Amino acid sequence: MITIAVDCMGGDVGPAATLPACAAFLSSHPQAQLLMVGLPDVFKDWPQLQNNVRCRVVTASEVVAMDDPVEVALRKKKDSSMRVAIQQVKDGAAQAAVSAGNTGALMAIARYVLKTLDGIDRPAIASQLPNAQGGATTVLDLGANVDCSPEHLLQFAVMGSALVVAITGRSEPTVGLLNVGEEVIKGSEVIKKAGVLLRNAANNGDINFFGNVEGNDIFKGTTDIVVCDGFVGNAALKASEGVASMLAGFIRQEFSRSWLTKLAAICAYPVLKAFKSRADYRRYNGAALLGLRGLVFKSHGSADAFAFEQALARAYDAAHNRLLDSVKARIAHAAPLLSPDALPSELKSIPTI
């Protein structure tokens, strides 16, 4: 059995999305059990969950609001559903925790409660964006670290490789370094240094480094993984969500126009529907907070029941495939390259931006 602790109160929708998602998830995952964390009253209307032998309610007296400052969530709301869910992982009662709550608060609480792995300076947020190959590209960081050193980008590459191996089963996922061009001479000094570290890591057998990639390569599926700082990664994430919303709006508009346009839309509908489904960011919901001494997954704050169920499934797959052990092993192997002292002597004089 894989046990997942669920913050049932987090997100824009809260229990209205998380509780039906829990019910659907249990139906499709017979080897899973849930610790549902929240205010006691919210579970009263869900006897099918309360009476399920694979469910247990863990009460919390507080809720982290989506607009709560990190300091409030971390220092003042010590019995929040978010913190109690993460504590279940720390105590060994659950193998993973899932929340749709405030991203900053979730990262701060998870880092405070679980601590980071040896060899990791900063946790990263990793998720998948749909690509033209019919699959998805794993991108990190998606917002946890707006400024990164070359060593951080190497850490992201190592952890992202472990994530893709654990979830997809690919033995040697390719890693791309997001840059303004494919040539090694392009980019900031941080990116150039990171490129050197990533090539050294590839030679050491730590990652399968493809080289520099550009923004469109994320959606082309050029590599399995793309590493970047959190500012750029978060912008790419929001852009992908915007494309899906735009397509949905386009389909609605075409069906509301003249009969000729409606006829054309009807003919194209199967293709448009398939593309909309592939680009639907809800299918890829569930971002991993990598680099912690426990598994934590972040659901989109506005996730509906379907999207939140996907986040639960990703957490289950990560725990089932022992993602944490894989990350630890890869970090330990790459340890000699993760120190700032590992930079080649000819690059040490280049200032870090």
Beta carbons of 161 and 171 less than 8 angstroms apart: no
pLDDT of residue 32 exceeding 70:
yes
Kindly tell me the burial class for residue 320, based on how many C-beta atoms sit within 10 Å of its own C-beta (0-12, 13-18, 19 or more): middle
What pLDDT score was predicted for residue 340? 59
Q: How far apart are CA 299 and CA 290, in angstroms?
A: 14
pLDDT at position 258? 63
Q: Is the pLDDT of residue 62 over 90?
A: yes
- The 10s digit of each residue's pLDDT in 131-173 is 888 889 999 999 888 889 999 999 999 999 999 998 888 889 9
Q: What is the pLDDT of residue 265?
A: 60
Q: Is the pLDDT of residue 351 over 90?
A: no
Give the domain ranges of the chain. Answer: 1-114
81-136 pLDDT, tens digit per residue, is 999 999 999 999 999 999 999 999 999 999 999 999 998 988 999 999 888 888 89
pLDDT for 170 equals 85
68-74-80 Cα angle (round to 5): 75
pLDDT at 350: 46
Please, which pLDDT band fits residue 236 given cuts at 50, 70 and 90? Answer: confident
pLDDT for position 226:
97
Higher-scoring residue by pLDDT: 277, 212: 212
The CA distance from 266 to 260, in Å, is: 10
User: What is the CATH number that goes with domain 1-114?
Assistant: 3.40.718.10
Would the pLDDT of 19 be above 90?
yes
